[in-house]
C-alpha cells in the first residue's frame, strides 16, 4: 500500500508515520513537510511551502491520503490563518490527491465537528468534513478525537495543558466522548480503518477509538 501523509510533524502525524513505517503492508509513504524528516527507506519527504502547493506533482497519486494536518488559532495567529490551514490547505491537498486518482481518504477531524457549530474550531472542522464529502472518494474515514492526551508538545499550549490536567482528574465524571485520547490510539485507529478498503463513509467518534495495543495490525 502506498500512502500520502499530511501533518507528519504533529502529534498524531508523528504517530501515524511511525506506525506506517513499521507496517509491512505499507510499502511507500509520501510525507510532505515544511522541514525535513529523518530519512527512511520507505519514506519520500518532499519539503514544500504549503502556501504554494505543488498540485501537479505525481506523488499525489497513492492508494490513500491521510491527513493529520492542523493548527490552532493561537499558533496560526488569527482565525483567518487557522482557517487557511485547517480548511483551505487541507481541502486543496485532498482535491489534488483525488484529481490524481487517489481513492481513499482518512481525516483527523475533531470531536463535535459541525459546520453549524458556534465554536469556530469545530465549525471549521465540520466545514472541511462536508467539503471532502463532495470529492467522491471511494472510501472516506473521518475520526473525531477529543482532546489529545499529549502533555509533552514541542510548543506548549497553556489552556490545553490546563484542560488536560482537569480532564484527567475528572475522567470518571466525563462522558466517554470527551475524555482525552492518546495520539497513538488515534493514529492506530485511523490507519487500521483506511486499510480495510471498505467503500463509503466511516465516522469514528472519540469514544470508539480503542486503547493503544488493542487494535490488530
List pLDDT tens digits, range 77-110: 899 999 999 999 999 999 999 999 999 999 999 9
List pLDDT tens digits, range 41-57: 999 999 999 999 999 99
- Radius of gyration of the chain from Cα atoms? 16
pTM: 0.88
What are the structural domain ranges in the chain? 2-207
How many CA atoms are closer than 13 Å to the CA of 115, on its beta-carbon side? 8
Domain 2-207 class, CATH top level: alpha beta
In this structure, what C-alpha cell is assigned to residue 10? 504533529
Q: Over the chain (217 residues), what is each successive 10-residue block's mean pLDDT? A: 97 97 98 97 97 95 97 88 96 98 98 96 97 98 92 53 52 76 96 95 96 60
Q: In what order do the strands lie in the sheet with 200-205?
A: 43-44, 28-30, 2-6, 64-67, 104-108, 139-144, 200-205
Amino acid at each position: 500500500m502506498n500512502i500520502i501523509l499530511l501533518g507528519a510533524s504533529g502529534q498524531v502525524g508523528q504517530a501515524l508515520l511511525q506506525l506506517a513505517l513499521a507496517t509491512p503492508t505499507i510499502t511507500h509513504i509520501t510525507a510532505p513537510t515544511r522541514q525535513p524528516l529523518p530519512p527512511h527507506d520507505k519514506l519520500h519527504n518532499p519539503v514544500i511551502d504549503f502556501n504554494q502547493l505543488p498540485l501537479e506533482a505525481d506523488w499525489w497519486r497513492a492508494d490513500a491520503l491521510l491527513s493529520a494536518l492542523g493548527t490552532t488559532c493561537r499558533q496560526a495567529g488569527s482565525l483567518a490563518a487557522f482557517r487557511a490551514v485547517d480548511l483551505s490547505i487541507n481541502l486543496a491537498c485532498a482535491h489534488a490527491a483525488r484529481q490524481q486518482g487517489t481513492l481513499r481518504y482518512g481525516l483527523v477531524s475533531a470531536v463535535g465537528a459541525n459546520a453549524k457549530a458556534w465554536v469556530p474550531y469545530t465549525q471549521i472542522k465540520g466545514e472541511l468534513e462536508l467539503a471532502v464529502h463532495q470529492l467522491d472518494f471511494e472510501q472516506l474515514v473521518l475520526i473525531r478525537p477529543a482532546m489529545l492526551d499529549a502533555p509533552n508538545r514541542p510548543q506548549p499550549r497553556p489552556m490545553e495543558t490546563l484542560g488536560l490536567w482537569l480532564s484527567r482528574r475528572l475522567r470518571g465524571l466525563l462522558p466517554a466522548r470527551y475524555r482525552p485520547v492518546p495520539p497513538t490510539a488515534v493514529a492506530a485507529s485511523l490507519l487500521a480503518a483506511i486499510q480495510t478498503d471498505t467503500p463509503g463513509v466511516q465516522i469514528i467518534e472519540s469514544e470508539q477509538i480503542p486503547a493503544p495495543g488493542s487494535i490488530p495490525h
